A and B are shown apart, each in its own frame.
Chain A
């Protein structure tokens, strides 16, 4: 193995030697190296395998367009597949390996595909694998799925870790006057000019070093540039890729914070996802050099010309000793000179007839010459060349590297994200950005300007455009013209081979060849999008950065059209792929959604609560004593509530303050039942309907004063009801003088339920005489004080059917209130109860909740038709009885008992007639519980025609997904104390 490093070249720090590991072998590079340059310097040529044919691939570029050197970095949970070696900065201890190969990229069994490639033409998998070969016998998907398993294993590129990503990521926002994307000569000129005019400039550069293509120049100093820019007040963001421009001059950008650091500090995120909102954007994103499609143009050692210049001048790596450059344009001549000066033998094949260039005699220049086929298997042994006029007459040149330049493509992706169609420039054979109507300017080679001086000039023009946005008007100058080569470029996209199957690659990673494109055309895939999808051209990780234009030119040739007639393909964000972790930021794990807790959350946990997620809330589920299961626990809690008293956190209910002279009118219009005559100091249970007459939510409203109500909603619908009231007041009923304010967070609430609840309350309040049956009757409301003087609100309300109250207190006092209540309740052998017991108690009473009100149920279905006033109009009153909504055979709320009282059942069970256990059945069970009082399981749910129809008829509860089936009977949903004696006690 030889080092290809050249003394006196490069911007690497030779003082700092970095050890790294490639495919389990130790190598050395320098600070400032990319993984690609370090591998090249160590003469590691095969670094990857292609997607389909598993052909050996080497480094083919020096940037984000790379589609050959895709590697895996790291191991274990930090394993990062499909990393471009060309953009991965080298660090000490970097551990990288080849991928999509077994056992390794140097020798890969998958390489056998290469020899079978004649069968694997575009779309071959649509034509076979359906059934038994050779004639696809069979039915169904069985045979395909056997093939699929094999295909899936062979496909894919790198292997992902299955362990959680250990790193953190974050989102970040910024704002600026002008955002400049790219720090090449044009971007720098623009940024400096604008900063000189006192505007706030952010400069984004995807590389670790500033300079863009200047980095390929021998004497360029990126460190000096950085100092200069910072001193002019420019906010410089290196290692940051602008991957998309969105509406309103907003960009999305990815900053790689620690990807180049050996052992990053835990406090630092690995990457940041920036959303930057600018007033003007200057795109100076540069251009990419294209390759040329010809036979074997993918062998390790084949590379773009500009890449080899970068490797020489930025990294001090001379990539070949005997180099053949194939071109159709002028951009390669400077590189040829420098490669020659650095010690390589250089031969140029120029497809043009006449080229005027001052070249050293030691460089062979073949005009009118095309590359025909590269010779070699895993490395380049030579190249067959031929004249443009005679493809059959070939000469062979011995060489170890082939550089290609088929022209340059401005990076129009970012502006294309804005829907701006690129236009084809035939003179320079490239797409350039179309006319832009937003505050976006494109400068430099991204606009198709090749000459450095003109690029700088264009930067100034872009700066002027940006400053116009801010009303700063400078002397008008106009953009230099597109292009800038002294000898015109001539089309050279593909050199047709007579060999079959052809290995003229258009899209390297996906192994799409020129023949594939022609086959797709023959089969009728004549729109660009069809072609793309059929061949997978441009759908690899590089998104066609290298191959798209060649593909288009081949398509145009087939159709006998010009490239612009064929169209451009879609440039979709992101420009370069963005890790899902970065998109997610800190919203991972337990922070996926914010946790909402009640003010007595910690109190509940301290008192043994097991919690359960309810929307964003965590609520107490049950309070197990030692060794108790969920069902032990809720049955005990339910029993104690019915026997003495229990206390439950009900804070999660939505709470809304309704204030103003029209408060009564509002409440009366949104509930189905009348509220107009509710006295002060009383509460009422109410149902709200949607516009279409279906039940939306239930809750209570308490009248606190002449013009003031306190409304509670269900936990689930709290936010929805709040927005709904605001919508009604701001858009439909704008004449009502009412303010609505969410006070869900202001008040903590506890239910105190059971025969002893009044005794418990009496011990806690300042004046026990207030809490009597007369003074605080059922649905009475009291604003009072606890015994230490803390104000509180008490309402007598019951969802358990027992004598029960709810007490509300300002949230910061919630712990104190619970201490008081609990201390008192313990004296009566009371308990704390959770959601499960709450559910059991309400099922016994036939109270409906979200499990029943599923958005299809009418107020009549729910057995609450009596609450629908016929004397007033309210939201939904018109629609609630339309058509079949008032039919007799609707599914109506009922209770269910198992016939065999030892039997249990589940919610979600379908109710069927005995001899017809299929289809939709005649009903369903929505909520179930064990009823300690009745001594067996009970349920509520719906049955077609209601209780009347099915009384005394045995039905079947079918629950096949849980392998259960039982006989059941229909009963009234009010299963305990149907007269409500206890509630009014």
Chain B
């Protein structure tokens, strides 16, 4: 190859809409991003090494990841959202709390 040519991706702008299982589809600006939902928090008295791993070392997934969002300016549910960190496409949304999840599942 003699030249460096790259097909440039067009630039897009996000306007993520999150389908809150209670409120319906809303702009993401109503929500607060929490973080990686797959983190398993150790017991409160677990050793430092376990806590260090849980809160400092992250998988930093490039692709679909489960993450939490708080519907801060809405119903205030904490949601588990499955979202691509590349395309921002959202695959699923559900309430984090298992009992709330059950109540909202059938309705949404």
Mark A residues whose CB is within 8 Å of B: 244, 246-248, 250, 275, 277, 416-422, 526-529, 559, 561, 565-573, 669, 691-692, 723, 726-727, 729-732, 734, 873-875, 877-879, 882
Contact = CB atoms under 8 A, between A and B. Distances in A.
25 contacts: A244-B13, A246-B15, A247-B13, A250-B15, A417-B11, A526-B5, A527-B4, A527-B6, A529-B6, A529-B8, A559-B5, A570-B10, A572-B11, A573-B11, A691-B51, A723-B32, A726-B70, A727-B34, A730-B96, A731-B78, A732-B41, A734-B97, A734-B99, A879-B51, A879-B55
A526 B4 contact: yes
B45 A877 contact: yes
Interface string B1-40: 0011111111111111100000000000000101001000
Given A250-B15, A878-B48, A731 B10 contact: no
A723 B5 contact: no
B74 interface: no
B103 interface: no
A420 B10 contact: yes
Contacts, number: 125
A729 B97 CA distance: 8
A1 to B, nearest CB: 46
Interface in B26-79: 32, 34, 37, 41-48, 50-52, 55-56, 68, 70, 72, 76-78
A719 to B, nearest CB: 8
A692 B9 contact: no
B8 A569 contact: yes
Interface residues of B, number: 44
Contacts of B68: 727, 731
B91 interface: no
A247 B14 contact: yes
Query: 8 shortest A-B CB distances, which residue pairs?
Result: A246-B15, A873-B44, A730-B78, A416-B10, A873-B45, A572-B11, A730-B97, A248-B17
A567 B7 contact: yes
Contact of B10 (A250, A417, A559, A878): A417
A280 to B, nearest CB: 15
A422 B77 CA distance: 41
Nearest to B56: A692
A420 B46 CA distance: 49
B15 A878 contact: no
Nearest to A555: B5
Contact of A882 (B3, B13, B52, B88): B52
A669 B44 CA distance: 9
Contacts of A732: 41
Nearest to A244: B13
B8 A417 contact: no
Contact of B9 (A419, A561, A734): A419
Contacts of B6: 527-529, 567
Contact of A567 (B8, B44, B98): B8
A944 B68 CA distance: 39
Contact of B100 (A561, A730, A877, A882): A730
A527 B4 CA distance: 6
A492 B72 CA distance: 57
B11 A571 contact: yes
A248 B6 CA distance: 28
Chain A binding site: helix, strand, loop or mixed by DSSP? loop
Contacts of A875: 44
Given A421-B7, A566-B5, A878-B42, A692 B55 contact: yes
Contacts of B77: 730
Nearest to A412: B10
Nearest to A741: B76
A275 B43 CA distance: 45
A878 B46 contact: yes
A215 B26 CA distance: 39
A559 B5 CA distance: 10
B70 to A, nearest CB: 6
A420 B41 CA distance: 40
Residue of B3, B14, B45 with highest tally of chain A CB at under 10 A: B3
B3 A559 contact: yes
A570 B48 contact: no
Contacts of B3: 526, 559, 561
A944 to B, nearest CB: 24
B70 A878 contact: no
A527 B7 CA distance: 9
Contacts of A566: 5
B9 A570 contact: yes
Contacts of B51: 691-692, 878-879
A247 B17 contact: yes
A175 to B, nearest CB: 11
Contacts of A419: 9-10, 12
Nearest to A530: B4
Contacts of B47: 878
B75 to A, nearest CB: 11
A471 to B, nearest CB: 19
Contact of B88 (A247, A418, A691): A247
Contacts of A275: 15
A734 B98 contact: yes
A691 B55 contact: yes
Contacts of A691: 41, 51, 55
Contacts of A567: 5-8
B34 to A, nearest CB: 7
Contacts of B70: 723, 726-727
Nearest to A559: B3
B108 to A, nearest CB: 17
Nearest to A692: B55
Nearest to B28: A247
B62 to A, nearest CB: 17
A728 B95 CA distance: 13
B11 A570 contact: yes
A816 to B, nearest CB: 32
A254 to B, nearest CB: 15
A878 B45 contact: yes
A731 B68 CA distance: 9
A970 to B, nearest CB: 32
Given A421-B10, A875-B44, A877-B45, A247 B16 contact: yes
A416 B96 CA distance: 36
B10 A571 contact: yes
Given A244-B13, A572-B11, A727-B68, 17 more contacts: A247-B15, A277-B17, A418-B10, A420-B10, A422-B10, A526-B3, A526-B4, A528-B6, A571-B10, A573-B12, A573-B13, A691-B41, A692-B55, A723-B72, A730-B95, A877-B45, A878-B45
Nearest to A732: B41
Contacts of B5: 526-528, 559, 561, 565-567
A96 to B, nearest CB: 32
Residue of B10, B45, B56, B68 with highest tally of chain A CB at under 10 A: B10
B45 A726 contact: no
Nearest to A669: B44
A262 B37 CA distance: 56
Nearest to A691: B55
A568 B6 CA distance: 9
Contacts of A569: 8
A877 B13 contact: no
A561 B4 CA distance: 12
A669 B45 CA distance: 11
A572 B76 CA distance: 34
A573 B11 CA distance: 8
Interface string B82-93: 000000100000
Nearest to B78: A730
B3 to A, nearest CB: 5
Contacts of A527: 4-6
Nearest to A419: B12
A86 B15 CA distance: 32
Residue of A244, A250, A420 with highest tally of chain B CB at under 10 A: A250
Contacts of A877: 44-45
Contacts of A729: 97
B105 to A, nearest CB: 15
